[in-house]
């Protein structure tokens, strides 16, 4: 072997070896335990960024580790190739989205290979290819026939200048990002998937996922938001009744007004001869559709001049239009109980509407001018209904049940389970996506495209200017015939939400080339044993992913209820952002192009452009993204240090699930470690072959050295297996190597111990730095099978120590260190502790009240 560590040559040799051995191509083998390790596939944005490197290194480490446990490991990779950035790039660079996307994929594949990730590329999917998306079109048409798909109006962000629909991301401070126009809400017809039909199952299924983080399950539970409440009506003279849903029927006697959305038919009717109201409704429609915006904007309203009839008292309650009530979510109308709902309270104070207290808690004083949290506390043990006639004195549950009974009896209302989860709107008015396989016929209405006519192919060789989708602009593409009556008809020109593609790629990976959605191979590989991806996908993607699995199950394509057994949510790689501002438009500057000045304490003072020294503003620390241009290009580091060093550092920098503020400076330490490792093995190997280990004849120093090795192996086994935390495993190896450096023993058995140590170190590092360890394993053993070697396991008999170090506390404070025999009794341990000089000083004349011995750890004397 070479004396110096030369990553470039070492990495090429290892990659060539794997490539010619087709080392990562796998097939179904029922005789072996399978392990399907899946990292979320990337959007082909151009280059890999640090978040990708970290994510994919974690997946590769896990895959290689599982392989070293003897499992049949599948680790596929592909590209989530449809999406908005391709359209933006097309406008900016005047290239077709397809061309841009394919070029990016080629470059990123080469980067992934350079990092040594063990993917089975024979299974690659590119979601923008018809041979991929035809199967999701097929699934959609099946769901359509099954009644799980419907069309309704839904609101979008409308840019009145560019005459286009904007993504939420494209709305910046209420304005279109390119035109600067104030964004409006606009209703257009869109296709929806009935995810709410699966809401209960998606909720219950979370309990079957012990391998998913609690935080993700909690977020999904809250997102699904199951509630039980009462649905009832307010009669309105001369109009349809207002249907409302409430989880607080117990407060019904506190209703002092009702509120409807600006788009509600009642509001529109009232505005017909009320120009002031019409103006308000128009203005209320001026806002984006994002929930965060709805929740934080100023709550405004205006009375319709129409009264609703309170269903119990018969009293008239005014109906208001309010900008925070959205049409299309529920019935577009809400009852308002300002006495016990914080938002209603604030609204009532603002507009001078009456506030009626109907809940009291003993010892608390109700104050009409100031909101207090107890007003809304329905589960307080002292909570009682007041000012509500027959309901007075009841608690929340009693009043709830009494009200439900009252409404169900006369049929004017009913108990209802409601979900916060809304049906999934899958229509996008964009070009670069999978065409929705629907045909519109004037006679027969919307028809699914027949299966033998799939796929509906998206043309790729197009001019894309950004104003209008090429398939919307092209009248010929649209033209078709109705599959039902054969008459002239038109195709849907909207495309799917790109979450569609990423909802089922995991299944497709199991069945490359299948002439159906998946084939029987899916039953061998599914479910995914380990799914790895960013925490930012905790709700949307992971919910759709679970939903799709159930849809595919119910269509008979896959078995089992959940798509992935274990989930690791990788923390975000974040980085400071930098920008310059001109005419209110921000230009984001890459951190690599910015020089930062720090004060004496290391806090950043100012930033300037590296090229010309012009000042740059410092923005927040955010996840690395294309839009904020704060991604660090890992290629620079790979070129300088090699893939193994980058992989090692990515794993060493922080635990996988923690977010990481990226900083290059530690990479030097990882490079140093690689050189030490290489030199250590080289020095050992250069002395010739070691003799066989004979544990019966070891000296105490050799035994201690071996104990250190096997303690380390025990720790590392736990880190890899149970904890899935690699930074501490690497630290343990570093610590062991520091100990080895001090172990100078050229005797035959000393060298035998060293042989065992170096083999172990090389194998435990193999999943993390596979190229270097491939070469080192060859040097140590003459074999090329590091990939399939068994992961080292600790020998517990080597770890037994005769003397154990304990600490002694007095009243919980550390006062001394003692050593006791392994076999010492509690009384003997306490006696030794009490004999310690410093301990005696702190006990003084006092008699110990309590003596606590924690085996293997400490003694605490309480006086």
Smaller CB distance to RNA: residue 215 or 313? 215
Q: What letter does residue 340 receive in the DSSP assignment?
A: T
What is the footprint of RNA within residues 829-848 (CB under 7 A)? 838, 842
Tell me which residues in 627-666 interact with RNA (CB under 7 A): 627, 652-655, 658-661, 663, 665-666
Q: Is 537 in the site for RNA (CB under 7 A)?
A: yes
Distance CA 501, CA 40 (A): 12
Residue 602, φ and ψ in degrees, nearest 5: 90, 5
* CA 179 to each of CA 163, 170, 467, 734: distance values in angstroms, whole numbers, following the listed order: 10, 10, 12, 55
- Name the H helices within 742-825: 748-765, 770-781
Beta bridge partners of 35: 73
> For residue 434, which of 99, 128, 142 has the smallest C-alpha distance?
128
218 lies in the site for RNA, by CB under 7 A: yes
d(CA 234, CA 242) in angstroms, rounded, equals 5
Binding window for RNA (CB under 7 A); candidates: 56-64, 101-109, 303-311, 619-627: 619-627
The binder of RNA chosen from 21, 731, 793, 821 (CB under 7 A): 731
Q: How far apart are CA 273 and CA 277, in angstroms?
A: 9
Binding status of residue 718 toward RNA by CB under 7 A = yes
In the window 169-188, what residues touch RNA (CB under 7 A)?
A: 169-170
Binding part of the chain for RNA, among 90-98, 255-263, 269-277, 713-721 by CB under 7 A, reads 713-721
Window 140 to 159, contacts with RNA (CB under 7 A): 156-157
Cβ neighbours around 377 below 10 Å, total: 16
Pairing relation of β-strands 427-428 and 424-425? unpaired
Number of residues counted as binding RNA (CB under 7 A): 110
Please say which residue, 25 or 819, places its beta carbon nearer to RNA: 819
Residue 513, class by beta-carbon neighbours within 10 Å (0-12 exposed, 13-18 middle, 19+ buried)? Answer: exposed
The 8-class DSSP code of residue 804 comes to: E
Using CB under 7 A, pick the residue from 715, 724, 771, 774 that binds RNA.
Answer: 715
Minimum distance, C-beta of residue 145 to RNA, in the bound complex (Å): 23
| String marking each residue 429-458 x if it binds RNA according to CB under 7 A | xx----------------------------
Looking at beta carbons only, is 582 or 849 nearer to RNA? 849
Rounded-to-integer distance, Cα 433 and Cα 448, Å: 18
DSSP strand E in 426-572: where?
427-428, 438-441, 445-448, 479-481, 488-491, 495-496, 528-534, 564-570
Q: Of the two residues 219 and 368, which places its CB atom closer to RNA in the complex?
A: 219
Complex with RNA: residue 75 or 809, whichever CB lies closer: 809
Distance CA 26, CA 39 (A): 17
CB of 392 to RNA, least distance (A): 29
Give the nearer residue to RNA in terms of CB position, either 441 or 535: 535
The kind and range of the H/E element at 430 are: none
Tell me which stretch binds RNA (CB under 7 A): 173-181, 635-643, 766-774, 811-819.
811-819
Residue 319 near residue 238 (C-beta atoms within 8 A):
no
- Number of neighbours of residue 128 by Cβ within 10 angstroms: 26
807 binds RNA (CB under 7 A): yes
Of residues 496 and 525, the one with the C-beta less far from RNA: 496
Within residues 483-522, the interface with RNA by CB under 7 A covers 497-499, 502
Q: Which of 304, 255, 298 is nearest to 276 (CA)?
A: 304
User: Is residue 860 close enough to count as binding RNA by CB under 7 A?
Assistant: yes
Three-class DSSP category at 84: helix
**Looking at 244, 815, 818, 843, which residue binds RNA (CB under 7 A)?**
815
Distance between CA atoms of residues 242 and 331, nearest Å = 8
Cα 438 to its chain centre, rounded Å, is: 32
Report the residue from 536, 554, 555, 561 that binds RNA according to the rule CB under 7 A.
Answer: 536
Site string for RNA, 666-695 (x = CB under 7 A): x-xxx-xx-xx-------------------
Q: Of the two residues 188 and 697, which places its CB atom closer to RNA in the complex?
A: 188
Distance CA(578)–CA(557), nearest Å, equals 48
In whole angstroms, the minimum distance from the beta carbon of 54 to RNA comes to 11
Residue 626 assigned to a binding site:
yes
DSSP state, residue 845: T
| 210 counts as binding RNA under rule CB under 7 A | no
CB of 770 to RNA, least distance (A): 20
- φ/ψ of 205, rounded to 5, equals -60, -25
Of 639, 667, 634, which Cα lies nearest the Cα of 653?
A: 667
Tell me the window of 352-360, 393-401, 732-740, 790-798 that interacts with RNA (CB under 7 A). Answer: 732-740
Q: Is 387 exposed, middle or buried (0-12, 13-18, 19+ CB in 10 A)?
A: middle
Q: How far is the CB of 798 from RNA (least distance, A)?
A: 18
Cα–Cα nearest to 219, from 234, 238, 202, 232:
202
Residues 284-323 that bind RNA (CB under 7 A): 289-292, 295-296
Q: Kindly write out the interface string for residues 238-277 of this chain, putting x where it contacts RNA by CB under 7 A and - elsewhere.
A: ----------------------------------------
By C-beta, is 199 or 643 nearer to RNA?
199
Is residue 370 near RNA by the rule CB under 7 A?
Answer: no
What is the x/- site pattern for RNA, positions 734-753, by CB under 7 A? xx--x--xx-----------
H/E stretch holding 38 reads: strand 34-39
Binding RNA by CB under 7 A: which of 238, 314, 475, 602? 602
Peptide bond into 236 cis (omega under 30): no
Q: Which of residues 404-433 bind RNA (CB under 7 A)?
A: 420-422, 424-425, 427-430
User: If binding is defined by CB under 7 A, does position 167 make contact with RNA?
Assistant: yes
- What whole-number distance in Å separates Cα of residue 771 and Cα of residue 777? 10
For 97, residues 6+ apart whose C-beta sits below 8 A from its C-beta are 86, 87, 89, 90, 431, 432, 460, 464
541 lies in the binding site for RNA (CB under 7 A): yes
* Binds RNA (CB under 7 A): choice among 68, 327, 572, 705: 572
Footprint (CB under 7 A) of RNA, residues 77-96: 80, 82-85
Residue 713 in the binding site for RNA (CB under 7 A): no
The residue from 17, 107, 223, 579 that contacts RNA (CB under 7 A) is 223
Site for RNA in 742-801 (CB under 7 A): 742
**Residues within the annotated binding site for ATP?**
626
**Residues within the annotated binding site?**
626
């Amino acid at each position: 072997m070479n004396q110096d560590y030369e990553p470039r040559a070492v990495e090429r040799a290892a990659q060539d070896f794997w490539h010619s051995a087709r080392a990562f191509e796998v097939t179904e083998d029922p005789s072996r335990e399978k392990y399907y390790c899946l990292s979320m596939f990337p959007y082909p944005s151009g280059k890999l960024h640090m978040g990708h490197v970290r994510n994919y290194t974690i997946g590769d480490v896990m895959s290689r580790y599982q392989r070293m446990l003897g499992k049949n490991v599948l680790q596929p990779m592909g590209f989530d190739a449809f999406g908005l950035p391709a359209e933006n790039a097309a406008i900016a660079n005047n290239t077709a989205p397809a061309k841009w996307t394919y070029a990016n994929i080629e470059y990123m594949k080469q980067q992934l290979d350079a990092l040594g990730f063990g993917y089975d590329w024979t299974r690659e999917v590119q979601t923008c290819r018809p041979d991929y998306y035809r199967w999701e079109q097929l699934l959609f048409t099946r769901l359509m026939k099954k009644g799980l798909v419907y069309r309704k109006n839904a609101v979008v962000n409308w840019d009145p200048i560019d005459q286009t629909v904007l993504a939420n991301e494209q709305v910046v401070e209420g304005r279109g990002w390119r035109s600067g126009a104030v964004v409006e809400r606009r209703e257009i017809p869109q296709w929806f998937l009935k995810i709410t039909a699966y809401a209960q199952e998606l909720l219950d299924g979370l309990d079957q996922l012990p391998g998913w983080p609690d935080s993700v399950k909690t977020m999904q539970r809250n997102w699904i938001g199951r509630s039980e409440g009462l649905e009832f009506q307010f009669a309105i003279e001369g109009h349809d009744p207002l249907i409302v849903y409430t989880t607080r029927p117990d407060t019904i006697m506190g209703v002092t007004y009702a509120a409807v959305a600006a788009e509600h038919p009642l509001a529109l009717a009232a505005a017909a001869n009320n120009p002031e109201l019409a103006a308000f409704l128009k203005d209320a429609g001026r806002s984006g559709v994002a929930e965060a915006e709805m929740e934080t904007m100023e709550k405004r309203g205006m009375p319709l001049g129409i009264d609703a009839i309170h269903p119990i008292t018969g009293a008239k309650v005014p109906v208001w239009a309010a900008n925070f009530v959205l049409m299309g979510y529920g019935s577009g109308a809400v009852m308002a109980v300002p006495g016990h709902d914080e938002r209603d309270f604030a609204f009532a104070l603002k507009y001078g509407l009456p506030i009626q207290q109907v809940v009291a808690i003993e010892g608390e004083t109700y104050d009409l001018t100031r909101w207090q949290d107890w007003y809304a506390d329905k589960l307080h043990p002292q909570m009682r209904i007041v000012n509500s006639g027959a309901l007075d004195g009841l608690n929340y549950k009693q009043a709830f049940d009494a009200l439900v009974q009252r409404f169900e009896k006369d049929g004017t209302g009913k108990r209802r389970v409601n979900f916060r989860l809304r049906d999934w709107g899958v229509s996008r008015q964009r070009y670069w996506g999978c065409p929705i396989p629907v045909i519109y016929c004037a006679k027969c209405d919307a028809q699914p495209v027949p299966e033998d006519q799939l796929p509906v192919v998206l043309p790729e060789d197009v001019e894309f200017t950004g104003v209008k989708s090429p398939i919307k602009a092209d009248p010929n593409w649209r033209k078709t015939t109705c599959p039902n009556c054969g008459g002239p008809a038109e195709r849907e020109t909207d495309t799917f939400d790109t979450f569609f593609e990423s909802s089922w790629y995991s299944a497709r990976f199991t069945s490359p080339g299948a002439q159906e959605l998946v084939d029987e191979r899916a039953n061998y590989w599914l479910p995914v044993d380990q799914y790895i991806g960013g925490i930012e996908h905790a709700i949307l993607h992971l919910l759709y992913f679970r939903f799709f699995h159930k849809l595919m199950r119910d269509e008979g394509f896959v078995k089992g209820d959940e798509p992935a057994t274990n989930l690791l949510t990788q923390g975000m790689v974040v980085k400071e952002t930098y920008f310059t501002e001109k005419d209110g438009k921000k230009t984001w500057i890459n951190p690599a192009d910015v020089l930062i000045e720090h004060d004496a304490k290391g806090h950043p003072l100012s930033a300037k452009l590296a090229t010309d020294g012009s000042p740059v503003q410092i923005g927040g620390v955010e996840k690395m993204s294309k839009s904020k241009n704060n991604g660090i290009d890992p290629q620079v580091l790979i070129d300088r240090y090699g893939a193994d060093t980058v992989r090692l550092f990515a794993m060493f920098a922080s635990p996988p699930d923690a977010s990481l503020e990226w900083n290059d400076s530690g990479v030097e330490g990882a490079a140093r470690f690689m050189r030490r490792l290489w030199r250590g093995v080289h020095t050992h190997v250069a002395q010739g072959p070691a003799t066989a280990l004979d544990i019966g004849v070891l000296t105490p120093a050799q035994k201690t050295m071996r104990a250190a090795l096997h303690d380390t192996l025990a720790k590392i086994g736990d880190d890899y297996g149970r904890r899935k935390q690699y930074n501490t495993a690497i630290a343990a190896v570093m610590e062991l190597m520091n100990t080895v450096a001090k172990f100078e023993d050229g005797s035959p058995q000393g060298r035998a111990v060293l042989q065992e140590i170096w083999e172990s170190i090389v194998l435990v590092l193999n999943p993390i730095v596979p190229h270097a360890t491939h070469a080192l394993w060859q040097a140590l053993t003459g074999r090329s099978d590091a990939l399939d070697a068994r992961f080292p396991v600790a020998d517990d008999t080597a770890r037994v120590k005769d003397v154990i170090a304990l600490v002694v506390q007095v009243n919980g404070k550390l006062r001394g260190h003692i050593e006791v025999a392994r076999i010492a009794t509690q009384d003997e341990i306490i006696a030794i502790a009490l004999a310690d000089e410093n301990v005696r000083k702190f006990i003084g004349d006092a008699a110990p009240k309590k003596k606590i011995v924690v085996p293997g750890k400490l003694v605490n004397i309480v006086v």
